[in-house]
Structure 1
Amino acid sequence: MKIEERTDNPEPLLNIVPSWLPWALFIAALLQIAVRVWALGGFSAIYREGGLTMVIGWGILNPLWSALAVQFVAVYLAIEFIAPWRLYHSDIGIDFLDPEGLGGLRPIGELVKHAYYYMVAGLVAFALVLYGPIVSAASWGPTATTSIVFTVIWLGTVATVAFAVFILHLFMRKEKRLELHRLNEIRREIIDKPWDIKAYNVDEEKQDQLNELQQRIDTVSATQEYPATFSIWSQLLISIVLPKAFQLLLASV
């Protein structure tokens, strides 16, 4: 997007992950693990029930896994929440000369989509872990609470991508309306009686200026507001429906 060339303050849009966010998520993950261990009766009870393997799992492997997971989640939240919000409040503007007609925002739009696709893959894997015992005909399986937890997580991911898409749409809509308003004000100064289609007049000396201005207005008007194409909409809708549909399929087996 050539951010360095389009704004006087590119830093907020180049480094979108706050340094405190991964730490906050990691501490929350450790607290969740600690609460779970306490609910199970502590490490002594875990050792009696599952042996040293379970103690290592709860005491070492789970925190290590959480350290990796929170890095991904921190980047994901920054892409879906922080980046669109900072873009909306920046002075970067819209590239109305973008040949794709997307205002030069396809890179951030693709980033938002692909980050969500990774989350969808994670949800599908999560569903396999949760409902695998049923598929393999094991003697135990997930409860109603399992379905509720999965649904809550799924709705949370839908909310994140919906927020990102909505903010990008508002940003493009705002920038487009402001530029059209500015160009229209200039056009009204060139035309005599601009409010009357039957009586308006343009001096011959200003005709070339008006033609150039009209080309600019047409270029701005042709810029689509994200998500603009059927391809973008269809990809987002399929990725939103897929995890829940997959979970319902596994639950019905």
Structure 2
Amino acid sequence: MNPKKRILILTPTTLPSVTGNAITVERWKQSLNKKDFLVEAMSTEGTSASDLLEQVKRFQPDLIHVHHAFRAGTLLLHSPFTSEGNGTPLVVSPSGTDINLDLKDPERKESVLRVFRMAHVIVAQGNETEQRLKEHLSELTDRIVNVPKAFSWRGHDRYDLRSIAGCRPGDILFFLPAGIRPVKGNLECLTAMARLYALRQNVWVVFAGPTLDADDTVRFEQQVRRLNTFARWIPLIPPEAIRSALETADVV
């Protein structure tokens, strides 16, 4: 009987942190486990290259999958990992931040490009991402593979978003599940909802997601409090209840 192939996934955060990165990686982990791979996920927040090397020596992965080139992949560029642990095949799945921000940042661009050049396969999670990657990585297009995003429910716990928001019968509930940071457009959405509320007083909006940018969160929280006649912010909805929350909203 052949031993299971081992995959180590590096990501900025893992469960129990409720972030997009953590949920995405957990979905991959569960799916790969069902296909008879042995998968471990490692959070890179607060992790050193020495920590990573120890994990690689312990787990002995057949493949390393980096999810988020800058925040997870740049660990691979540092000693001691570069001197001892760089023989394992590498897959990189960039985040939106990698493509939209880090590749435009003079202080981060070269590090991100180095991670991409190390990869045997670069996973694009959608057509737009694939096109953007090909624009930035014209010499690596043969390594880019389009694997569209999917989803899986973590559970079926009940979560009555309408009651929490304070909706009355007939009210229309908008729902934006996203961490609080500029690239997510939380403040812009809230501003747009304020204009809509000025026209229709039967609308509500609920934002759900953790703080990802401290300064942006301060501004966002101030505005939510000012507009609390129709707006709510819930920092955390348990992953097991997100299906119920989505189903009770009118517009997501």
TM-score under structure 1 normalisation? 0.23
Question: Relative CO higher for 1 or 2, CA cutoff 8 Å, sep ≥ 6?
Answer: 1
Please identify which structure carries the higher helix content.
Answer: 1
Which is greater in Rg? 1
Please identify which structure carries the higher strand content.
Answer: 2
